[in-house]
């Protein structure tokens, strides 16, 4: 596996680390459990890292020196792909021929390294986009920076080069065909999973609130994720201001946690959300919290009345599944994979567009009907149970087997 710009060892919610990190870690562990050995190549971001680290039995993370350790933005990484590829090739040279059976690249930067490696080693390339430039550019948040033309071209090249493409949802498969002219028969849909051992209702909402120092009877709409325009945490703050305007008594019993760190174009104005809360006069109800470990994140989900995901673009929305697995309903934008992740009207509410008034309208019933959180939360936990990682790993293994069979068939046909 190739993950150039984000290490599976990084804390999700910081910098460029997010759902993709979780995806790679969980998938690799489950693949190893079904006897598929995985080596994950990622860029070294500190000199203190050993060249390789065992993440789990059968999963090795290899750190590749490519560019300066610190202070390299994701936008500067294309210039380091040559150095990264060199590191991958050096590792390969130390093995017997045929050591790697297949390359699985994640995100377009890795796809370019994967393209060359797969060709050099004579093995199939399986690629997962995770996000796509053309899709992001078609749904930009106000003031957000469009993805560069170099990325669009790079993604088109990878689509042409890959033996198989893995899409998170049927919608993403359609986008690959529509925007990038991918061959429909080469696109496999594999829903990401959720770690159901970690993300579960556990001892319930009251206990989680007590652990986090939150009031037992508060209305708690939660935002969890990277702080950047694409994820639209500002829409939640505007929606909260709407609710308080309509019903000032809510101020006494509402807490709005924003859990995550600035990322991407959000790094340009890291304090922007704090300033917005002050401008809207809601600093007393909003609580900003830094990114946290997965076990603590599970407690934030359990403690919340509802998770709010107003994203402009979301290839799947792993956070939505994690929250539901903890027994918490979701109010989300009807974009990307979220209509698959959330069962509208059952485990949560999907909203067309990004008008804060619509989000306020969707949140209001959680304030007026105390039983709603538990009813929808129970349905949410049931819905999330079908998204286990074991299912995702088995489906991914099938894609690998198919790509290898096809490669063998072509080889014997030519020979």
State the binding site: 5, 11-12, 16-21, 74, 107, 131, 151, 226, 231, 301-302, 304, 314, 322, 328
- Separation between Cα atoms, residue 323 and residue 348, nearest integer Å: 11
For the annotated binding site for 1D-myo-inositol 3-phosphate, the residues are: 5, 16-21, 74, 107, 131, 151
Nearest to 129 by CA among 179, 65, 71: 179
Rounded Cα gap, residues 128 and 162, in angstroms: 10
Q: Which residues are annotated as a binding site for Mg(2+)?
A: 301-302, 304, 328
Provide φ and ψ at 318, rounded to 5°.
-55, -35
Q: What is the rounded CA–CA span in Å between residue 321 and residue 339?
A: 11
Q: In what order do the strands lie in the sheet with 221-224?
A: 286-289, 256-259, 221-224, 306-309, 330-333, 348-351
The whole-angstrom distance between residue 97's C-alpha and the CA centroid of its chain comes to 35
- Residue among 320, 363, 358 nearest 220 (CA): 363
In the sheet with 103-106, reading across from the earlier edge strand, the strands are 52-56, 59-64, 38-43, 2-3, 103-106, 125-128, 164-167, 187-189
H or E element at residue 59: strand 59-64
Structure tokens belonging to residue 231: 């994820």
As annotated, the binding site for UDP-N-acetyl-alpha-D-glucosamine includes 11-12, 19, 226, 231, 314, 322
């Amino acid at each position: 596996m190739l993950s150039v710009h984000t290490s599976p060892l990084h804390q999700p919610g910081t910098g460029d680390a997010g759902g993709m990190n979780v995806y790679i870690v969980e998938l690799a562990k489950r693949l190893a459990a079904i006897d598929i050995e995985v080596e994950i190549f990622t860029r070294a971001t500190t000199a203190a890292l050993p060249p390789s680290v065992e993440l789990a039995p059968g999963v090795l993370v290899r750190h590749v020196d490519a560019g300066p350790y610190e202070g390299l933005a994701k936008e500067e990484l294309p210039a380091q792909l040559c150095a990264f590829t060199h590191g991958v090739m050096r590792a390969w040279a130390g093995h017997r021929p045929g050591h790697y059976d297949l390359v699985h690249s994640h995100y377009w930067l890795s796809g370019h390294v994967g393209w060359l490696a797969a060709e050099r080693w004579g093995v199939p390339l399986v690629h997962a986009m995770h996000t796509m430039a053309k899709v992001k550019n078609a749904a930009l948040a106000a003031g957000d920076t469009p993805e560069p033309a170099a990325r669009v071209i790079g993604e088109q090249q990878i689509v042409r080069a890959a033996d198989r493409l893995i899409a998170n949802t049927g919608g993403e498969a359609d986008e690959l065909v529509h925007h990038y002219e991918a061959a429909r028969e080469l696109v496999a849909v594999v829903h990401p999973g959720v770690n159901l051992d970690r993300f579960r209702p556990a001892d319930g909402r009251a206990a989680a609130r007590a652990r986090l120092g939150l009031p037992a009877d508060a209305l708690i709409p939660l935002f969890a994720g990277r702080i950047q325009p694409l994820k639209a945490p500002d829409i939640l703050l505007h929606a909260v201001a709407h609710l308080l305007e309509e019903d000032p008594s809510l101020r006494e019993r509402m807490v709005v946690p924003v859990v995550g760190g600035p990322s991407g174009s959000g790094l340009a104005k890291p304090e922007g959300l704090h300033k917005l809360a002050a401008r809207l006069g809601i600093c007393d109800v909003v609580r900003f919290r830094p990114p946290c470990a997965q076990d603590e994140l599970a407690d934030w989900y359990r403690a919340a009345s509802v998770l709010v995901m107003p994203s402009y673009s979301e290839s799947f929305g792993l956070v939505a599944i994690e929250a539901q697995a903890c027994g918490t309903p979701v109010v989300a934008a009807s974009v990307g994979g979220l209509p698959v992740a959330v069962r509208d009207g059952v485990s949560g509410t999907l909203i067309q567009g990004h008008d804060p008034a619509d989000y306020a309208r969707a949140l209001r019933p959680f304030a007026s009907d105390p039983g709603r959180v538990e009813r929808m939360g129970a349905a949410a936990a049931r819905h999330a149970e079908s998204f286990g990682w074991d299912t995702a790993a088995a489906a991914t293994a099938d894609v690998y087997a198919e790509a290898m069979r096809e490669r063998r068939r072509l080889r014997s046909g030519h020979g």
